[in-house]
Copies of this chain bind each other. A is one copy, B any other.
């Protein structure tokens, strides 16, 4: 077993690169009932001193944050390049598959999500419970997973 290099294993944020932040916010607010979050823009180079691969970059990004318990979802729409945000839009990393939530009454939650145009796509059982994946990819860019233990 090696050292934990970061000195922490508390994930505080998951960052999603999105092509259109307003559309992304529409989807998250509709499903999670958030008040519409503010969209901020990263600072200009003069104050942000943004560097990319060791060189200054004037790239910026539109940002919006939503709290999901311990974890914050950060939506990121790149402005200009080069930046890791722009690189993210081109993909290449592991694909995020789902955001999971423990729920009670899967059938009822599925029905409510279906009313929002989010259809059940895959379901299965595991020892002690069941999982349900819903096709929220158009609205949220990722699948939702409902976990229910019996």
Contacts and interface: CB of A to CB of B under 8 A. Distances in A.
Contacts of A17: 94-97
Most buried by B among A52, A68, A97, A137: A97
B5 A116 contact: yes
How often does this chain occur in the complex, in copies?
Answer: 2
A8 B70 CA distance: 13
Contact of A84 (B7, B42, B143): B143
A99 B72 CA distance: 10
A46 to B, nearest CB: 10
10 contacts: A2-B33, A3-B112, A6-B144, A10-B68, A11-B69, A13-B98, A13-B100, A13-B145, A91-B91, A94-B142
Given A71-B71, A84-B133, A102-B10, A16 B124 contact: no
